[in-house]
Amino acid sequence: MTFKEQIQQGIPTTLPNPKPYETQINHAPKRKEILLDDEKKLAIRNALRYFEPQHHATLAPEFLAELNTYGRIYMYRFRPDYEMKARPISEYPGKSEQAKAIMLMIQNNLDYAVAQHPHELITYGGNGAVFQNWAQYLLTMKYLSEMTDEQTLTIYSGHPMGLYPSHKDAPRVVVTNGMMIPNYSKPDDWEKFNALGVTQYGQMTAGSYMYIGPQGIVHGTTITVLNGFRKIKTTPTGNLFVTSGLGGMSGAQPKAGNIAGCITVCAEVNPKITHIRHSQGWINEVIENIDELVTRVRQAKENKETVSIAYLGNVVDVWEKFDEENLHIDLGSDQASLHNPWAGGYYPVGQSFEESNRMMAENPELFKQKVQQSLRRQTDAINKHTAKGTYFFDYGNAFLLEASRAGANIMAANGIDFRYPSYVQDIMGPMCFDYGFGPFRWVCTSGKPEDLQKTDDIACQVLEELAKTAPTEIQQQMQDNIQWIKGAQQNKLVVGSQARILYADAEGRIKIAQAFNDAIAKGEIGYVVLGRDHHDVSGTDSPYRETSNIYDGSRFTADMAIHNVIGDGFRGATWISIHNGGGVGWGEVINGGFGMVLDGSADASRRLESMLFWDVNNGISRRSWARNEGAVFAIKRAMATQPLLKVTIPNTVDDAILDLL
């Protein structure tokens, strides 16, 4: 069968042969044993819904074996034989070009060069899934190949519920992931209901088909590192950034450190993923001996090098050893997947990678104790460094939250706040999000590098023109992103699809998108998919990350994210998504996103202007109402350019009046 025929086939009527478990692939760890015997039968019954009754006797024991061996039913037998990658849009079957673009984006999320655990359909973060099993993937791709521009496909936590009549301005796909009743959003609830096959963790851009490989997080990390050094009034040159995690977020941190121009030490316990990131060029060196690491870092400081070093070992050892050696760390953070601390997101110090994997599956309670002991040790070591002048920030991975739950010395003197800020509180929130700057991204569906180069050039030209008249308040953001886009090609950031990201406000996004649409209309480039990270101005309500610099008491509400996805849906997005869970954990965040296909048409021009304006200004409005000064400035500026925009502006209260109460 051809590739197109396999897509159109969906779930095959004849069972394919079982597939061997490929040990060279980076696999998800075994999930904890959480289902009772009757619940296991229910999980198998749920899985068998996808298959004709004549296959049930064959598949039932196979699915039980998967459930017992891996803690989930992945349906490995049904994994496609074709190469998993984003193809040019012309190679996909279908009646709708928009649907073909979505197929391209789904396959990009599962590309072996992109996905963290491709055979388990997990893109990043340890549990950020595109689908729960391979039957869902096959059926979704079949539906997309049949869809017209008068239909909408609904995706229910990975399950394609079906195609419904709609209209050309409606989203082609509506995605929800993990939308639980609030009292059922504890970590073990995810373990149980995911094992039953009724919900999934879509992370932020995995389950919404908008992950573009590591460059998305590389750009955000670069902006964060640059502004982190500005925060402490020093330059990156010859100075040290220490962090951890090369798996779920790829090699973003060391690559960003190189772009920023500092020395980066990133610890990782997984040997396979460490050497993969080294071979991919995301890190410069790998060191396994802690004493050798100390010597190498001293040399790099003395020579004022720009270098990224992966330490194959536990980051706790790094923090403790650098303290003993009085080796000064300028910036410190962590990007282990602590939203997922008990299932492979964080590995405790003092144990091997293999020992930890066995323990989390066979003795999860002891593993939890080890993780919490390790978090307390790591916090103690970090505290020693910050007493010497290190600037430490939480990088939105729930480190502060899980450390506090472990009883670590992480709380501020008032007993309410954390000792250290989230990077959004100190850096991204006041410097970027409040002004409407966030991660705007695009994908060239032709698959041609020359199309990406043309879009880079277009975006750069737009930004340079806007910078000429931009107010002082946003000049730094403009210049950082002009510098970024000029260096994007040289930094070789493309993994998988021909994609790019930069930070822009509503005006910048709209003008860049219009310029793309014009170039498509002229035949200069192929179709372009627009999107963004959910980690943005208005897509996500996350009290310990995206909305951590909201101080009016509303940071634990999620109205903004819900408003965002509804508004995007009726303003012209090609697909929309809303998720429970993301980078900080299940039950800790609600986040939404979109995708939009530009085809050079007048309809695309109309939709992009309406939707992108809302997508950004919805968040600025909320941040303005919280009395964030930058957002008040930004929303007033937006109202001055759009007469139909009228936003309630807050009045401020003199503190002296409240002090009298």
Q: Residues 357, 362, 364, 365: is their CA dihedral positive or negative?
A: negative
- The count of other CB atoms within 10 Å of the CB of residue 656 is 7
Give Cβ neighbours of residue 173 (< 8 Å, ≥ 6 apart): 99, 102, 144, 152, 153, 154, 155, 574, 575, 576
- For the chain, give the number of residues: 661
The first and second tokens of residue 249, run together, are 């977020």
CA distance 518 to 600: 6
CA distance 576 to 198: 20
* The Cα angle at residue 585 between residues 581 and 586, in degrees rounded to 5: 50
Give Cβ neighbours of residue 619 (< 8 Å, ≥ 6 apart): 433, 436, 536, 537, 538, 539, 560, 564
Is position 526 annotated in a ligand binding site? Answer: no
Is position 125 annotated in a ligand binding site? Answer: yes
User: How would you write 114-174 as a 3-class SS string?
Assistant: CCCEHHHCEEECCCEECCCCHHHHHHHHHHHHHCCCCEEEEEECCEEEEEEECCCCCCCEE
CA 6, chain centre distance (Å):
30
User: How would you write 25-69 as a 3-class SS string?
Assistant: CCCCCCCCCCCCHHHHHHHHHHHHCCCCHHHHHHHHHHHHHHHHH
Residue in 74, 219, 68, 214 with CA at minimum distance from that of residue 135? 74
β-strand partners of 117: 122
Backbone angles phi, psi at 345, to 5 degrees: -80, -20
Give Cβ neighbours of residue 332 (< 8 Å, ≥ 6 apart): 241, 242, 243, 319, 382, 385, 386, 390, 391, 392, 393
- The count of other CB atoms within 10 Å of the CB of residue 459 is 26
The first and second tokens of residue 290, run together, are 């802690």
CA distance 261 to 245: 20
Work out the angle between the directed axes of helices 134-146 and 97-110 (0-180°, nearest 10). 160
Please check whether residue 263 is in contact with residue 239, taking contact to mean a CB–CB distance below 8 angstroms: yes
Is position 52 annotated in a ligand binding site? Answer: no
The first and second tokens of residue 204, run together, are 């932020």
Please check whether residue 446 is in contact with residue 600, taking contact to mean a CB–CB distance below 8 angstroms: no
Burial class (CB in 10 A: 0-12, 13-18, 19+), 457: middle
Is position 583 annotated in a ligand binding site? Answer: yes
Please check whether residue 620 is in contact with residue 434, taking contact to mean a CB–CB distance below 8 angstroms: yes
Is position 395 annotated in a ligand binding site? Answer: yes
Secondary structure class of 100 (helix, strand, coil): helix
Q: What is the dihedral of CA 356, 360, 363, 368, to 10 degrees?
A: 90
Q: Which residues are annotated as a binding site for NAD(+)?
A: 125-126, 203, 268, 395, 583
Q: Which residues are annotated as a binding site?
A: 125-126, 203, 268, 395, 583
